Chains A and B, each alone.
Chain A
Amino acid sequence: MISEISDLFRKDLIFIIDEKNAEDIFKNIGKVLFNKGLVNEGFIDAIIKREKEFPTGLNLNVLDNDEIIPNVAIPHTESEYCNSKNIVVVKLKNEVLFKNMIKPEEELKVKFIFIILNDMKGKQTNILSNLIEFLMKKDNIINLNKLEDTNEIYNYILNKT
C-alpha cells in the first residue's frame, strides 16, 4: 500500500538544513526545487501563504508513547505551482515552529518536513494518506531522527515504504 509513494522520494531531494522559521525553510528549499525545474517561480510565495492560512503541522504524540516522537509538517500547495510529483524530505538541525493542521491555534515544534509536490490536480489524496501512514508508524520518525546523513535517510525511507 505505502509502496505507492516510494517512487516519489529522490536521493537529491533529501536535505538536512538549519533554519529559524518556516518561511526561511521554504525560501531555501524552494530555490533548490526551482533550479531543478520541479516547481515554478510562484511556488515559494504560494507555499508560504498556504502554510500561513492552512498550516500542516502534525502532532505525532497523539497516542500514548514511551518516548517523545519528533513532530513533522507536510506542506503542499496547489498543483499549478508544481512541475513534478515528488516528496521532498527536510530534516531540521533545530526544531522550527509550525501550526497544527487540525488545531491551527496550537504551535508544534517540528523536526521533519515532508513537502508534497504534485502537478496533477486531484491526485494528491493517495500521496497524503500513504505519507501519513508512513509517519504514524511510530518507529519511522524516531529512527530517521537518529540518521545524520541524507543517503542513509533516503535508504531508510525506501526500505520502509
Chain B
Amino acid sequence: MIRILAACGAGVNSSHQIQVAIENEMKKRGYDVKVDAVVMKDITPEMLSKYDIFTPISKPKLGFEIKIPVVEAGPILYRIPAMAEPVYDQIENIIKKSNK
C-alpha cells in the first residue's frame, strides 16, 4: 500500500478535498493508496518518514529537507480534469517507480 500525506493551511478544507480526490482517482486507476490530511504547520520529519508521497496544496516551506517525493496538488481543487489530470499522472508515475 502506498501512503500519501496531503496538507494545507488549516488541515480540514483544501487538504481534505485533495485527500478524497486522490484516494478516489488512484483507486480508479487500480492502486491501493491511503491518504491522510494534516495542517502544514504540524508536519515533522518523523511524520513525513511514514509516508511514500507528500501532496501539499502548494510548494511547501517546512524548514527541513523533505526526503520523499513531493507533488503539488493544489490544481485538483479547481475540480476540472484539465487541471487535475497532470497531478494524478505525477502521483501514478511515482507509485509505478516505487514497485510497491
| A interface residue numbers (CB < 8 A to B) | 50, 53-54, 58, 62-63, 76-79, 101-105, 116, 121-122, 124-125, 128-129, 132-133, 136
Closest-CB distance, B60 to chain A (whole angstroms): 11
Contacts of A62 in B (CB 8 A): 78, 80, 82-83
Contacts of B75 in A (CB 8 A): 102
B77 and A102 within 8 A (CB): yes
A132 and B78 within 8 A (CB): yes
A136 and B40 within 8 A (CB): no
Query: Which A-chain residue is minimally distant from B10 (CB atoms)?
Result: A78
Q: Most chain-A Cβ atoms within 10 A of its Cβ — which of B13, B72, B78?
A: B13
Closest-CB distance, A76 to chain B (whole angstroms): 6
11 pairs from A and B in contact (CB 8 Å cutoff): A50-B9, A54-B9, A54-B10, A76-B13, A101-B57, A102-B74, A104-B58, A125-B13, A132-B77, A132-B78, A136-B78
Complex alpha-carbon distance, A9 and B82, angstroms: 29
Complex alpha-carbon distance, A124 and B77, angstroms: 13
Contacts of B9 in A (CB 8 A): 50, 53-54
A128 and B14 within 8 A (CB): yes
Complex alpha-carbon distance, A101 and B74, angstroms: 7
